[in-house]
Amino acid sequence: MIRLTELKIPVQLVTDDNKEIELLYQLLNDKYKIKKSDVIELSIFKKAIDARKKHQVIYVYSVDLVCRDEQKILSRKYPNCSIATTPNFNPTITGDLKLKHRPVVIGFGPSGIFASLLLARLGYNPIVLERGLDADTRTKNVEAFWQTGNYNESSTILFGEGGAGTFSDGKLTTLINDFRCHYVLEALHKHGAPKEILYNNKPHVGTNVLKEIIKNIRKEIISLGGEVRFNSFVTDFNIENNELKSLVVNHKEVILTDLCLMGIGHSARETFETIYQKGLNIEQKAFSLGVRIEHPQSLINQSQYGDFAQYLEPAAYKLSYQSKTGRSAYSFCMCPGGYVMCATSEEGGVVTNGMSESKRDGDNANAALLVNVLPKDFHSDHPLAGMYFQRAIEQKAFEVVGKNYYAPIQLVGDFLEDRVSTKIGSVKPTYLPGYRFVKLSDILPNYVTDTLREALIDFDHKIKGFAMADAVLTGVETRSSSPIRILRDDEGMSNIKGIYPMGEGAGYAGGIMSSAVDGLKQVERLIKVYGL
C-alpha cells in the first residue's frame, strides 16, 4: 500500500463525497501520473483544513492506495510518497497467574468502556459497575432537571453510561500520539460513528450520536460474556494485607474479586474519599478554573474561514495566553453550534460544561475559558484539598444565584468593567434551567478573574470580536480535569495489589481519546500478569 501526502483541494470544490473522490483521482493523475485504472483501492488516511490564507481555504489530504504496480510508482521517488504503515493493536495474554474471580471495572466512561471491551474480546468476562444510569434513562432525567431545576442525584451529566463525555461535543481529538487511538476510532466506527472520524484531523461525533455508539459497545461486551450493571455504586473496598479481596456495592452487596480496574471519573468525590481512607496513595494535582463563554457561531465562522465559511462545518478555535503574573489562560472543550449545560453532580453546587449535537447547528459557539490552579492555591497539604477547593467555588456560585441551580452570568463588557450586567444583548444564553446576573468576581478568586480579563483582550486580537461586549460568560467551570492523581507503579497498579487506577479521574488522561487509550494500556499491563 502506498501513502501520498500533501494533496490539496480548494474547499469550495468538494461538494459531496463522490466529488471529493473524483477530485482526488484527478489530482493523482495530474501530480503523480497515477491513472484511476491503476488503482485497486483508494482510502483517505487524513483530512485537515488549512485556513491560514483567508483568500483560499483548502483541504489537505493524505491518501492510501492499493495499486496494480506499486513498485513502479515508488521507483519514481515522488516527494510525499511512501509505503503506508498502520500499526496493528492486537495484545496477547502472556500472564500465567490465574484469577480466582472475574475482573471488575468500576465506571463506564471512556477508560472503563474500552478496558471492558478489550477484556471481553480477550475472554475475561468482566463485570462493569457504573454508579449512574443507562444512557436513555439518564438523558430523560437530565433533561427533566434542566427544565425544572429539580435535582436528581442518580442522573447527572457526569455519571452514567458513557461518563461525562456522553453529554459533550464528542471530541475525538487528542494531544497524545498513540497507535491505540486507531483501535478506539475503529471501535467507535464499528458501533455507529461516521467513517469520517477515521481520517478527519479534528473528528467529533456529537452527543446525540455518541449515546447510540456507547449503547452498541455495551451490547458487544455483554454478547462476549461481560456484564454491565447500572445504579451500582461501589461504596467500599475490602482490603486485607494490602490486597483487594472484594467490593461492596450500594452499601450491601459484596462482589468477590482480586482485580479491579478503577475508571471512576474526575468527579467521583465520594469514591475519592473512600479510597483515601482505605490507604491508596493519592497526591494533589493542578487543574483549571473559569467560565464558559458564548458567541454567535457566525462570528467564529467568519473569523476562522472568512468567505469560505459557507462551504465548511461550523468553525472551532483554540486559544491560549500567558500572563506576566505566571498564570496562564486558555480555551478548552470548544463546542461549535453548541449549548452550555448544568453539570452539577452534587446537591448544592453549580457546575457548567458544554455540548454539541452531531450537526453542530446551534446559534451559539461556546468554550470554557480557564485559568490554571496550582496545589499551592489550595492552602492545604491534604491530598483531597483540590477537590474541596472545587466544591467551595461551586457552592458559592449556588448560593449567589439563589440556591436554585441557576447559573451566574455576566456579559463580557461588564465583566471587563467589573459591574453587574442588567440585560442580555445579541447573544442569548443557552444554559438551563436559568440564569441570574452577578459579578463573577464575587465567586471566583481574583487571580482567575484578573487573568481572564487580560486573556479576553488578547484573544480579541486573535479573533476579532471575541471580547464583544454582549458575549456571555457563564459560571462556573470547575471540572476540566481531576484534582487528584492516584499513584500507580510501572505495572499500572496502585499501592494496593489488584487495584488498577485509570483514566481521567485517576489523573492520567484528559478527554475521551486519552482516557480510552489509558484504559487499553491498563488491560495490556494486567494481561502480562493475569491469564485466563
Identity of the amino acid at 511: G
The maximal CA–CA distance of the chain, rounded, in angstroms, is: 73
Long-range contacts of 136-139 (CB under 8 A, 24+ apart): 136/211, 136/215, 137/230, 138/166, 139/211
**Helix/strand/coil for 328:** strand
Q: Whole-model pTM?
A: 0.95
Residue in 514, 491, 519, 502 with CA at minimum distance from that of residue 178? 514
Strands in 2-10's sheet, in edge-to-edge order, are 39-50, 58-67, 2-10, 81-83
Q: How many C-beta atoms lie closer than 10 Å to residue 439's C-beta?
A: 17
Task: Write down the residue that cell numbers 470554557 correspond to.
Answer: 368
What is the structure's pLDDT at 30? 92
Residue 330: closest CA among 446, 445, 471, 459: 459
CATH of domain 2-83: 3.30.70.2700
As annotated, the residues of the chain forming the CATH 3.50.50.60 domain(s) are 97-282+485-531
Give 184-198 pLDDT, tens digit per residue: 999 999 999 999 999
pLDDT recorded at residue 23 = 97
Residue 104 near residue 247, CB atoms below 8 Å: yes
- Grid look-up 455504586 returns 233
Sequence-distant (≥ 6) Cβ neighbours of residue 108 within 8 angstroms: 116, 128, 130, 132, 160, 161, 162, 163, 214, 218, 228, 230, 263
Number of H helices, E strands in the chain: 12, 25
| Dist CA 323 CA 393 (whole Å) | 23
Instruction: State the CB neighbour count (10 A cutoff) for residue 78.
Output: 15
Q: What pLDDT does 147 receive?
A: 87
Can you give the pLDDT at residue 87? 80
Residue ranges in the chain modelled with pLDDT below 50:
none
Q: Which residue in this structure is represented by grid cell 500533501?
A: 6
Task: Name the grid cell of 198.
Answer: 477515521
- The pLDDT tens digits of the residues spanning 94-148 come to 999 999 999 999 999 999 999 999 999 999 999 999 999 999 999 998 888 888 8
Can you name the CATH fold of 97-282+485-531? FAD/NAD(P)-binding domain (3.50.50)
Per the DSSP assignment, residues forming a β-bridge with 531 are 98
C-alpha grid cell, residue 294: 458564548
Range list for CATH 3.30.70.2700 in the chain: 2-83
